[in-house]
Amino acid sequence: MTAWLGRRVEGLPVAAIVVLFAALALYPLLTALPFWRHIVIMSMLYGAMGVAWNILGGLAGQVSFGHGLYFGIGAYTAAYCYKAFGLAPLLSVPIAIAISTLAAVLIGLPTFRLRGHYFVLASVFIMEGIYVVVSNWDQLGAAIGLEYPVYRAQGFLDALWHGQFPGKLPYYYGALGLFVLALVAFRVIQRSPFGMFLVAIREEQDAALSLGVDVARYKLYALIVSAAITTLCGTFYAQYVLYVEPMSTVSLVVSLEICFIAILGGIGTLWGPALGAFVIVPLTELLRAYLSGRIALDMSALSGGGLMAWLEYYARGGGGNLDILAYGLVIILIARFQPAGVLGFIRRID
Amino acid sequence: MTGPLLEIAGLSKRFGGVYANRDVSFAVARGEIVGLIGPNGAGKTTLFNLVTGFIRPDSGLVRFAGAEVTGMRADRLCHLGVARTFQILKPFPRLTAEENVMIGALARGGGMRRARESARRCLALVGLDHKREVQARGLSTGQRKRLEMARALATSPQLLLLDEITGGVDQPSIPGLIALVGRLRDEGVTLLVIEHNMRVIMGLADRVVFLHLGAKLAEGRPQEIAAHPDVVALYLGRRDGGH
């Protein structure tokens, strides 16, 4: 009767999955400190995006360095619609997904028929282009971004309607919901004919084509699904921080973070990106909290003083961006010693 | 239905200044096994790529089952009933043999369960049922050739193009592969086969098309082709002192 607990879902026994997610669900009982809740919220949010990215990057083998675009579409659509029309964020979700689908089609349609890395290049350049556009678009607050007017909600439903909750707890469970949604979507796709086609495309595109798989069409479907989940995460993010600006949404930094989470966690696997997020996000958040944020890198310390002056400057606790340096170091170390990703440390993937 | 299953008329393809295929015409009737032979660089694989939609011809026509399909994409042709194997084998390396074959079955519609059943049937037909759970990259060259045949077969083709049945396979495996091609014909599949091994193709094909430098040099029954002076000269060297 309890045999199903011993069944494995991609190597992880169902019993372990139940325990892990129960722990996630109960975690807020452990600490009321906003910072510790925030770290797990961000881990689950980025975990959801890593898993969504993995549908396209891991299953279909189409690497996107531009998923920040879809994240930004979700965030900006919600913020703009709320500010301009007073539209409830929940209702702006379908609009955001429609826009992200359109963007996916515009990028995927011309590039997925082509061979090689046209899609990768297109994904980067289009997102960078959009970054510049958004940074100069007055209606979207240009480089400064859009700030939500604070709303004092009366009760849960009112808060849900306006997408603003006073505490972190509702956001915590919202992020958990997104995380589970992304994992379930990945798993369902992975075990469907659609997922089989994606893997076939990744493994040997010509063979897939010769067997009747409409390669370009399925790549596009994968991008649309992956983008839609990322868009949903973007809307959630906007409601969580109540402030949307280009650098933390439609930027290359965000895009790379999403794909690093998937690649370093274990590309193409169900649990890899989920695990990757729980390694990388806490790491960046902690590094940011303890290393950076003191003072931004002051180039004047470099000029004239030379290396020693620069190091001294850091030693005195000046200098910022050390978090990004440390982050890069971790990426290099994982790539060097465990190319299969963090998941590879736990079980051997071959 | 009457008329040939596959009809190629005046097919040409140039890469830069070089003709890979030049004005090639021939037909394949239903139920036939037609062999395509010729020296290296004769344009055999290019012809396969033209017929299966991997490259588009510069001129000429391809007709399949009476309909013109020139330049049609490979996946659409597959849905019409044209399947192929590759000279440089292209298995899905990290999928199991069964999953490899399932892709072919799935692309023609039907759910996972039916695809799995169909895959098992096709694997049994090519004699690979004992390797079902093995990843394709763990199979030998001969086994991977069989896998590609099973995979193509799972798409329920009317016409199957085999690019090199015995190339790169150890001697003892060759008779089994030849017998397998015969079984495929018994399944009702029409076959167009590239083969380097003359003895193999002579025993197998109903008719043989001989390509040289992209053009059709001769066509006929295997015995006729084997006795054709140009073929003899190219395969065995000239006896008249030409070279």
In angstroms, the separation between the Cα of residue A249 and the nearest Cα of chain B is: 35
Q: pLDDT tens-digit profile of B16-53?
A: 888 999 999 999 999 999 999 988 889 999 999 999 99
Q: Of B156, B182, B207, which one is at a domain's C-terminal end?
A: B156
Give percent above pLDDT 90 in chain A.
Answer: 51
Examine the domain organization and report whether B206 and B98 are in the same domain: no
Question: What mean pLDDT, rounded, does chain A reach?
Answer: 85
Residue A319 or A282, more confident? A282
Residue A203 to residue B104, Cβ atoms within 8 A: no
Nearest beta carbon to residue A196 from set B52, B106, B152: B106
Q: Which of B106, B108, B134 to mutate to test the interface with A (most CBs of A within 10 A)?
A: B106
Sorting pLDDT into bands at 50, 70 and 90, what band is A283? confident
- Per-residue pLDDT at A2: 67
Confidence of residue A349 (pLDDT cuts 50, 70, 90): very low
Contact between B78 and A210 using a beta-carbon 8 Å cutoff = yes
Q: Is residue B1 part of a domain?
A: yes
Which residue in chain A is spatially nearest to B138 when comparing CA positions?
A350
Average pLDDT value for residue range A287-293: 64
A212 inside 8 A of chain B by CB: yes
Do B229 and B122 sit in the same domain of this protein? Answer: no
Domain count, chain B: 2
- Mean pLDDT, rounded, for A86-107: 95
Put simply, the answer to whether B54 touches A212 (Cβ < 8 Å) is no
Cβ(B215)–Cβ(B24) below 8 Å: yes
In a domain, B86, yes or no: no
Neighboring chain B residues of A192 at a CB cutoff of 8 Å: 112
Given B105, B127, B156, the domain boundary residue is: B156
The residue of chain A nearest to residue B76, with distances taken between CA atoms, is: A212
User: What number is the average pLDDT over the span B90-109?
Assistant: 93
- By three-state DSSP, how is residue B107 classified? helix
Do B75 and B109 lie in one domain? The reply is no
Identify whether B20 is part of a domain. yes
List all residues 6 or more positions away from A340 whose beta carbon is below 8 Å from its beta carbon: A266, A348, A349
Residue of higher predicted confidence among B2 and B171: B171
3-state secondary structure of A171: helix
Q: How far is B152 from chain A (nearest CA, A)?
A: 7
B111 touching chain A per CB within 8 A: yes
Question: 3-class DSSP state for residue B65?
Answer: coil
B116 occurs within a structural domain: yes
A64: pLDDT strictly greater than 50: yes
Q: Parallel, antiparallel, or unpaired: how do β-strands B59-64 and B67-68 relate?
A: antiparallel
Distances (CA, A) of A131 to A81, A111, A318, B243: 19, 20, 30, 68
Structural domain contains residue B149: yes
Structural domain contains residue B119: yes
Give, in order, the Cα–Cα distances in Å from A196 to each of A187, A341, B9, B184.
12, 22, 37, 26
Rounded to two decimals, the pTM is 0.89
Residues B73 and B165 both lie in one domain: yes
pLDDT tens profile A224-277: 999 999 999 999 999 999 999 998 899 888 998 898 888 888 888 899 999 999
Which CATH number do you get for residue B59? 3.40.50.300
Q: Is the per-residue pLDDT at A94 higher than 90? A: yes
* Position B243 in a domain: yes
Tokens representing residue B60 in the block: 């000429």
Residue B124 and residue B49 share a domain: no
In this complex, is the C-beta atom of B54 within 8 Å of any C-beta atom belonging to chain A?
A: yes
Assign B121 a pLDDT band (cuts: 50, 70, 90): very high
User: Is the model's pLDDT at A288 over the cut of 80?
Assistant: no
Strands (E), chain A: 8-9, 12-13, 146-147, 243-244
The residue of chain B nearest to residue A349, with distances taken between CA atoms, is: B94
Query: What's the pLDDT band for B132 if we cut at 50, 70, 90?
Result: very high
pLDDT mean over A282-287: 81
- Alpha carbon B156 to chain centroid, angstroms: 15
Mutation for testing the A interface, residue in B49, B75, B108, B134 having most A CBs under 10 Å = B75
Contacts of A214 in chain B (CB under 8 A): 75
Nearest to A206 among B90, B104, B151 (CB): B90
Chain A CB contacts of B107 under 8 Å are 197, 211-213
- Same domain for B46 and B64? yes
Question: What is the mean pLDDT of the segment spanning B60-83?
Answer: 95
Residue A317's pLDDT is 47
| Residue A80 confidence (pLDDT) | 95
Q: Which pLDDT score, from 0 to 100, does residue B70 have?
A: 94
For residues A336 and A49, which has the higher predicted lDDT (pLDDT)? Answer: A49
Give the position of tokens 């993010």.
Answer: A237
pLDDT of residue A198: 96
Residue B197: pLDDT above 90?
no
Chain A stretch 192-211, residues whose beta carbon is closer than 8 A to a beta carbon of chain B: 192-193, 196-197, 199-200, 203-204, 206-211
pLDDT of residue A350: 39
Please give the residue that has the higher pLDDT: either B207 or A318. B207
ipTM associated with this complex: 0.91
Helix (H, G, I), strand (E, B) or coil at B22: strand
Strands A243-244 and B67-68: unpaired
Q: What is the pLDDT of residues A133-178, one digit of tens each?
A: 999 999 998 888 898 888 888 889 999 988 899 889 999 999 999 9
Q: pLDDT value at position B103?
A: 96
Domain check: are B163 and B70 in the same one? Answer: yes
Interface touch A212/B90, C-beta < 8 Å? no
Mean pLDDT of chain B: 90
Q: Measure CB to CB from residue B112 to each of A193, A208, A214 and give the nearest one.
A: A193
Looking at per-residue confidence, does A286 or A193 come out higher?
Answer: A193
For residues B166 and B71, membership in a common domain is answered with yes
Q: What share of chain B is helix, strand, coil (3-state, %, to 5)?
A: 40, 25, 35
A214 and B152 in contact by Cβ < 8 A?
A: no
pLDDT at res. B242:
42
Q: Chain A contacts of B84, Cβ < 8 Å?
A: 210
Picking from B128, B117, B98, B11, the residue whose alpha carbon sits closest to that of residue B63 is B11
Of the two residues A319 and A331, the one the predictor is more confident about is A331
Chain B residue whose CA is closest to A209: B75
Pick the most confident of A36-50, A260-274, A278-292: A36-50
Q: Is the pLDDT of residue A299 over 60?
A: no
The number of C-alpha atoms within 13 Å of A325 and in the hemisphere containing its C-beta is 8
Last residue of a domain, one of B156, B171, B197: B156
Verify that B73 and B106 share a domain, yes or no.
no
Asked whether the beta carbons of residue A204 and residue B79 sit closer than 8 angstroms, the reply is no
User: Of A63, A55, A70, A67, nearest to A189 (Cα)?
Assistant: A55
Together in a domain, B66 and B35: yes
Domain interval for residue B120: 91-156
- Are residue B148 and residue B54 in the same domain, yes or no? no
Distance from CA of A201 to the nearest CA of B (A): 9
Three-state secondary structure call for residue B77: helix
The model's pLDDT over A206-230, given as tens digits with 9 standing for 90+, comes to 999 999 999 999 999 999 999 999 9
Judgement on whether residues B61 and B169 belong to the same structural domain of the protein: yes
- How far apart are alpha carbons A263 and A111 in whole angstroms? 22
Say if CB A246 and CB A131 are below 8 A apart.
yes
pLDDT at B41 (0 to 100): 86
Give the separation between CA A83 and CA A94, rounded to whole angstroms.
Answer: 17
Query: Do A102 and A95 meet the contact criterion of CB atoms below 8 Å apart?
Result: no
